[in-house]
Amino acid sequence: MSAQPGHASLFDFVEHGLLRALDAALAEHLAATASPAQRLAIALTSWQAGRGHTCLPLAALAQDPTQLLGWHEIETRPARTEAPARLLVLVQVLELADLQADGHYIGTGPGGSPLVLERGRLYLRRAWQDECDIAATLQARMAASPLIAPARVRAALDAVFPADGAASDLQPNPQPDWQRVACALAARGRFAVITGGPGTGKTTTVARLLRLLHKLEGDALSIALAAPTGKAANRLGASLAQALAGLPDFDAAALPRAQTLHRLLGMRPQGAGGNDRVEPLPYSLLVVDEASMVDQAMMARLCRALRPDARLVLLGDKDQLASVEAGAVLGELCARAQAAPYGEACREWLAAASGEALPAPAIDARTLDEHVAMLRTSHRFDAARGIGRLASALRSGEDAAIEASFATDANTQLSRSRIDAADFRALDALIAHAAAPGERAGYGSYLRLLAAGPGADFAHWTAELLRAFDRFRLLTALRGGDFGVAGLNARAEQVLARVGLLAPEGLWYPGRPVMVTRNDPGLNLSNGDIGIVVTDPQGRRRVCFNTGEGVRSVSPALLGEVETAFALTVHKSQGSEFEHTALVLPETQTLPLARELAYTAVTRSREHFSLFAPDPLTALCGLQPTEREGLLGLRLQAD
């Protein structure tokens, strides 16, 4: 693109670090003959999509472009920071506030234009269509409620909940049994969201929901279980199988295997094209776990693939990190979940079906709200102390409560340590620590088991080895640098070698933890699966993975894209839990730390959480929630 007088070219934006080369190339491809403003509009909308937003709000762009576009976070190249050039860029961006639909490059609805302008927001057409498809699909499902008489649900619900959990008579109750309410709400219609923090019983609730629907529908019930990642799918399947095992009214052996959404939808590898199903999925019930990780494009594919009469149940923690790709679907669906704003008719139905009296909400009810249930009681954490208290403080953003969490914990569940580039001693000591169960774990425990060898039972030894490794994990917000994944993995190898627990010679050394970074259907391994390199009784190197159906060993020669996994990004840790996690934060944040990232890191811990940072408390105080631009919530909340 050649620059016109008074306009910087898209190449200039890329050189400044204000656009990706991908954004500029997309604009040139879609609108080679458009005006500079229209091409810039496409490129900036694509830039925002790369930052997680589904659209570009023009009014906010005019008000503060550097803040909206995240340019204040970018260190530009010294040679390109002349004031006149930067001012020229900003003037050109501000001109976009006056963009109007032209029917060719910018449309206002269905059509072939690369951009869609709606309610002062610019969308790339595919993102706009995805948002509209999700809204239309969910609205159609919500319109069908209620599907069943509450008396039938009540009779079946009392049978699947323990006797002491059933409500015999309606009594005003400030703390309803939200698991019962969630099951009734999911049975009521064809769409439901069950949200809640770690340990609030989401999987237990779904196990009871499966029994409930089996009692109501019998053999007509056909189930699919899915999650965004292989690790999350394995955990969902294993948890449900355990919860349903031995029950007389449900054959746990007939429970379908949980699978990734990619596999459920028959999606081809990235870049192969043709990813949308033609035939509807054959199931009458689809349960999707870890829904906070599902981006808008994937949710749209899922909605297009469902049978019109199928039930869709989404599970997830609304306070966790949003998806890596654009969109924050679960967050928008659950924006009002805390208030439980059910209308009078809905409350009456739920009371009759669940036996739980729900208080009148303080805000007006809307249709979407009546399809969302929030579980509130954690059975993993004490909300008044330690991890539970810190997680609550991070959710609310109360700095005083964050400080009080550490101050009053007496170091039983929480610890904080100062580190900097010259002093990693506290972190090094933890990495090499070998602890008994219930104590703060490090990597010493699994490496001592590795050194002891397999004995007579190789399969049992590898299973124990994987369990021991999963007691502890290093987490970080970054990929690169000494405080990122690359630096921490190298540091862990050095520390463990120095104390004689590891001999990191060659690529496939015994004890090396590796994470699969690309789905491998041939090996039935998914992106995010973690294994450990061992030497088998025949002297061969193998990589052992826990697939949810027992341990499998794979020859390293068969593995494709993997990386060392002593340390993970917080994003990669979603869907996992460990006895002890340690979050390591850098001396300077290249990107601001999001409140959801800190919350997700803390809640990966079952028993202990350690924070390592140059100024630990300051690192967690003043965090802001991530806000992603989009209209999905408004489309669904409009009554």
Predicted pLDDT of residue 638: 67
Task: Please state, in angstroms and as integers, the Cα–Cα distance from residue 486 to each residue in 25, 67, 501, following that order.
Answer: 30, 29, 20
Q: How far apart are CA 293 and CA 526, in angstroms?
A: 15
Given a cut of 70, whether residue 272 has pLDDT beyond it is: no
Predicted pLDDT of residue 171: 42
Burial-class residue 277 by CB neighbours within 10 Å (0-12, 13-18, 19+): middle
Predicted pLDDT of residue 544: 95
Task: Please state, in angstroms and as integers, the Cα–Cα distance from residue 521 to each residue in 195, 263, 557, following that order.
Answer: 30, 9, 16
**Least confident piece of the model among 83-97, 569-583, 620-634:** 83-97
Burial-class residue 75 by CB neighbours within 10 Å (0-12, 13-18, 19+): exposed
| Residue 401 vs residue 314, higher pLDDT | 314
Residue type, 479: R
- Note the pLDDT tens digit of each residue in 556-569: 999 988 999 999 99
Burial-class residue 601 by CB neighbours within 10 Å (0-12, 13-18, 19+): buried
SS3 523: helix
Strand order in the sheet with 311-316: 259-260, 223-227, 285-288, 311-316, 191-196, 372-375
Establish whether the linkage from the previous residue to 146 is cis, with ω within 30° of 0.
yes
How many CB atoms sit inside 10 A of residue 216's CB? 17
The CA-CA-CA angle for residues 305, 227, 368, to 5°, reads 65
- List beta partners, residue 562: 516
- DSSP codes joined into one string, 386-441: HHHHHHHHHHHT-HHHHHHHHHHSTTSSEEEEE-BTTB-HHHHHHHT----TTSPP
Q: How far apart are CA 507 and CA 562, in angstroms?
A: 11
- Note the pLDDT tens digit of each residue in 307-363: 999 999 999 999 998 888 888 899 999 999 988 999 999 999 999 999 998 988 888
Contacts of 240 (CB under 8 A, 6+ apart): 203, 206, 207, 210, 225, 255, 258
Given a cut of 80, whether residue 39 has pLDDT beyond it is: yes
Pairing of strands 223-227, 259-260: parallel
The CA-CA-CA angle for residues 403, 605, 405, to 5°, reads 15
Pairing of strands 541-546, 530-535: antiparallel
Q: How far apart are CA 226 and CA 224, in angstroms?
A: 7
Predicted pLDDT of residue 350: 95
Q: How far apart are CA 180 and CA 353, in angstroms?
A: 9
Predicted pLDDT of residue 541: 95
The rounded mean pLDDT for the chain is: 86
Flag whether the pTM goes above 0.75. yes
- List beta partners, residue 611: 416, 583
SS3 158: helix
| Residue 588 vs residue 573, higher pLDDT | 573
Mean pLDDT value across residues 369-374: 94
Predicted pLDDT of residue 227: 92
In b/e form, how buried is each residue of 137-175, taking b as 16+ CB within 10 angstroms? bbeebbeebbebebeebbebbbebbeeeebbeeeeeeee
Termini Cα distance of the chain: 45
- DSSP codes joined into one string, 596-634: HHHHHHHTTEEEEEEEEESSHHHHHTT-B------SHHH
When pLDDT is cut at 50, 70 and 90, the band that residue 270 belongs to is: very low
Of 541, 518, 542, nearest to 529 by C-alpha is: 518
Mean pLDDT value across residues 579-583: 94
For residue 515, report the phi and psi dihedrals to the nearest 5 degrees. Answer: -115, 130
Predicted pLDDT of residue 17: 82
When pLDDT is cut at 50, 70 and 90, the band that residue 13 belongs to is: confident
| Residue 233 vs residue 6, higher pLDDT | 233
When pLDDT is cut at 50, 70 and 90, the band that residue 528 belongs to is: confident
When pLDDT is cut at 50, 70 and 90, the band that residue 274 belongs to is: very low
Predicted pLDDT of residue 480: 85
513 and 469 Cβ atoms separated by less than 8 Å: yes
Pairing of strands 414-418, 259-260: unpaired
When pLDDT is cut at 50, 70 and 90, the band that residue 623 belongs to is: confident
Of 608, 564, 569, nearest to 417 by C-alpha is: 608
Given a cut of 50, whether residue 523 has pLDDT beyond it is: yes
Predicted pLDDT of residue 410: 66
Of 379, 428, 386, nearest to 404 by C-alpha is: 386
Predicted pLDDT of residue 5: 39
Q: How far apart are CA 332 and CA 134, in angstroms?
A: 12
Mean pLDDT value across residues 376-385: 79
- List beta partners, residue 28: none
- Note the pLDDT tens digit of each residue in 14-24: 887 888 999 99
Q: How far apart are CA 195 and CA 205, in angstroms?
A: 11
Structure tokens at 249: 């009214």
296 and 54 Cβ atoms separated by less than 8 Å: yes
355 and 160 Cβ atoms separated by less than 8 Å: no
When pLDDT is cut at 50, 70 and 90, the band that residue 3 belongs to is: very low
Structure tokens at 73: 């976070």
SS3 84: helix
Q: How far apart are CA 391 and CA 388, in angstroms?
A: 5
When pLDDT is cut at 50, 70 and 90, the band that residue 198 belongs to is: confident
Mean pLDDT value across residues 176-198: 94
110 and 45 Cβ atoms separated by less than 8 Å: no
Q: How far apart are CA 374 and CA 214, in angstroms?
A: 23
* Polymer length of the chain: 639
Mean pLDDT value across residues 594-609: 91
Predicted pLDDT of residue 167: 45
- Note the pLDDT tens digit of each residue in 445-473: 999 999 999 988 999 999 999 999 999 99
Percentage of residues of the chain with pLDDT beyond 90: 49
- Note the pLDDT tens digit of each residue in 68-124: 888 876 644 444 444 455 556 776 777 777 788 888 899 998 999 999 999 999 999
Mean pLDDT value across residues 535-541: 93
399 and 621 Cβ atoms separated by less than 8 Å: yes
| Residue 626 vs residue 557, higher pLDDT | 557
- Note the pLDDT tens digit of each residue in 208-265: 999 999 999 988 999 999 999 888 888 899 889 888 887 878 888 788 989 889 889 9
For residue 290, report the phi and psi dihedrals to the nearest 5 degrees. Answer: 50, 45
SS3 194: strand
428 and 622 Cβ atoms separated by less than 8 Å: no
Q: How far apart are CA 180 and CA 262, in angstroms?
A: 31
Contacts of 133 (CB under 8 A, 6+ apart): 300, 303, 304
When pLDDT is cut at 50, 70 and 90, the band that residue 7 belongs to is: low
Task: Please state, in angstroms and as integers, the Cα–Cα distance from residue 482 to each residue in 37, 444, 537, following that order.
Answer: 41, 22, 37
Residue type, 583: L
List alpha helices for 470-594, DSSP H: 485-498, 570-573
Structure tokens at 101: 């639909």
